Structure formats: C-alpha cells, structure tokens
Amino acid sequence: MEFKLKYKDEFESREIPKDDYTIKDLIVDLGMSSQTIVSKQNGELVIEDTIIEEGDKIELIQIIYGG
C-alpha cells in the first residue's frame, strides 16, 4: 500500500509500513519535529493522529519562525 508525499515542492511515493500509520509516525520517520510541521491529507488540514490510507496525498509544510 502506498501514499504520495509532498515536502519542499518534491513528490515521492512511500510505502505504508504498518496498519494505523499516522502523520506523527511519518514525521518521526523523517526525523522532523511535529512542532514545526503543518500537515494536510488530500488537501485538508489534519492533526498528527490522522491515519494515512492507501492512495492518500500527504503534504508536510515547514513552519518558519522569525523574530
């Protein structure tokens, strides 16, 4: 089972490694912090506990802090 990932204007297909694979699992697998990422699933904003399904389009958006 696969899903599409978009991050920093790059697209890739990724395997869903287990049942109940969540956005949070993906963020951890990519070595990112969920505190600096906004996620979308099929164009809709979602929380990190959202389960990734076959054929989903996941977009991770890096939040930039400044001062």
Task: Give me the pLDDT at residue 53, please.
Answer: 98
The pTM of the full predicted model, rounded to 2 decimals, is 0.90
**Contact yes or no for 5/26 (Cβ under 8 A):** yes
Total count of residues recorded for the chain? 67
The Cα–Cα gap between 64 and 20 comes to 29
Asked if the model's pLDDT at residue 67 lies above 70, the reply is no
Please measure the distance between the N-terminal and C-terminal CA atoms of the chain and give it in whole angstroms: 42
Which of the four CATH numbers 3.40.50.720, 3.40.50.2300, 3.30.70.100, 3.10.20.30 does domain 2-62 have? 3.10.20.30
Q: Which of the four pLDDT bands, split at 50, 70 and 90, describes residue 58?
A: very high
Asked if the model's pLDDT at residue 65 lies above 90, the reply is no
pLDDT in tens, 9-49: 899 999 999 999 999 999 999 999 888 999 999 999 999 99
Rg of the Cα atoms in the chain: 11
Domain boundaries, the chain: 2-62
